[in-house]
A = this chain, B = another copy of it.
Amino acid sequence: MTIQRIVSSIVSSIAVVAVVSTQPSHPRLMLTKAEAAEMKAALGKVPVFDTTFQRAKRVVEAALARPMDVPRPVDAGGVTHQRHKENYTEMHLAGILYAVTGEVRYAQFIRDMLMKYVDLWPTLPKHPMAASESYGRLFWQSLNETVWMVHATQAYDCIYDWLPASDRSAIEGKLFRPLAEYFIREHTSEFDRIHNHGTWIDAAVAMAGYTMNDRDLVDKALYGSKKDKKAGFLRQMELLFSPDGFYTEGPYYVRYAIMPFMVLAQVIENNEPSLKIFEFHDQILRKALYSGLQLSYTNGAFIPINDALKEKSFLSPELIIATNIVYDRYGADPGLLWVAQKHGEVLLNGAGLSVAKALQSSSLIPAFQYASVEYSDGGDGNEGGVGVLRYGPVIDQSLVLMKYTGHGLSHGHYDKLSLLYYDQGTEILQDYGAARFINVEPKYGGRYLPETKTWTRQTIAHNTVTVDEQSQYEGKESVSERHHADKHYFSTADPSLQVMSASVKEASPGVAMQRTVALVPDSRFAHPLIIDVIRVVSSREHQYDLPYYYLGHLLDANIPTTSHSEQQQSLGSRNGYEHLWLEAEGNASGPVRVSWLNGNRYYSLIAAADSGTKVLFTRIGAGDPNFNLRHEPGVIFRRKGGSTVFATVLEPHGLFDGTKEFSIGARPTVASVHVLASTDEGTVVDIEGKDGFHWTFMTTNKSASDSAEHEISAGGKTWHWKGNYELDKNEGRR
Report the minimal beta-carbon distance from A433 to chain B, rounded to whole angstroms. Answer: 11
Q: Are A658 and B556 in contact, CB atoms less than 8 angstroms apart?
A: no
Interface residues of A, count at CB 8 A:
62
Q: Are B631 and A619 in contact, CB atoms less than 8 angstroms apart?
A: yes
Q: Are B440 and A656 in contact, CB atoms less than 8 angstroms apart?
A: yes
Interface of A is mostly: loop
Bitwise interface map of A from 166 to 185 toward B, beta carbon under 8 Å scored 1, else 0: 00000000000000000000
- Chain B residues within an 8 Å CB radius of A437: 553, 555, 597
Q: Are B625 and A565 in contact, CB atoms less than 8 angstroms apart?
A: yes
The 8 closest A-B pairs by CB, nearest first: A311-B658, A563-B625, A439-B663, A554-B627, A442-B555, A565-B623, A567-B569, A442-B556
Q: How far is the CA of A326 from the CA of B78 in the complex (A)?
A: 53
Copies of this chain in the oligomer = 2
Q: Are A664 and B82 in contact, CB atoms less than 8 angstroms apart?
A: yes
Q: How far is the CA of A569 from the CA of B581 in the complex (A)?
A: 12
Give the contacting residue for A660; candidates B316, B570, B630; CB below 8 A.
B316
- Chain B residues within an 8 Å CB radius of A443: 555-556
Known: A440-B656, A666-B442. A624 touches B661 (CB 8 A): no
Report the minimal beta-carbon distance from A391 to chain B, rounded to whole angstroms. Answer: 25
Question: Nearest residue in B to A617 (C-beta to C-beta)?
Answer: B627
Q: Are B597 and A317 in contact, CB atoms less than 8 angstroms apart?
A: no
Is A667 among interface residues, defined by CB-CB distance under 8 A? yes
Is A520 among interface residues, defined by CB-CB distance under 8 A? no
Q: Given A439-B663, A566-B578, A584-B625, output 9 extra A-B contacts at Cβ < 8 Å.
A: A439-B661, A441-B666, A442-B595, A446-B663, A554-B627, A565-B622, A565-B624, A565-B625, A566-B569
Is A438 among interface residues, defined by CB-CB distance under 8 A? yes
Question: Can you report 7 A-B residue pairs in the complex whose CB atoms are below 8 A from each other?
Answer: A77-B663, A316-B660, A317-B660, A440-B666, A442-B555, A566-B569, A568-B581
Report the minimal beta-carbon distance from A344 to chain B, rounded to whole angstroms. Answer: 13
Known: A554-B627, A631-B619. A316 touches B659 (CB 8 A): yes
Interface residues of A in 607-623 (CB under 8 A from B): 617, 619, 621-623
Q: Are A566 and B663 in contact, CB atoms less than 8 angstroms apart?
A: no
Bitwise interface map of A from 427 to 446 toward B, beta carbon under 8 Å scored 1, else 0: 00000000001111111001
Is A312 among interface residues, defined by CB-CB distance under 8 A? yes
Q: How far is the CA of A659 from the CA of B597 in the complex (A)?
A: 27
Interface residues of A in 539-589 (CB under 8 A from B): 553-556, 561, 563, 565-570, 573, 578, 581, 583-584
Q: Are A311 and B659 in contact, CB atoms less than 8 angstroms apart?
A: yes
Give the contacting residue for A570; candidates B311, B567, B597; CB below 8 A.
B567
Interface residues of A in 657-681 (CB under 8 A from B): 657-664, 666-667
Q: How far is the CA of A325 from the CA of B167 in the complex (A)?
A: 73
Is A313 among interface residues, defined by CB-CB distance under 8 A? yes
Report the minimal beta-carbon distance from A560 to chain B, rounded to whole angstroms. Answer: 10
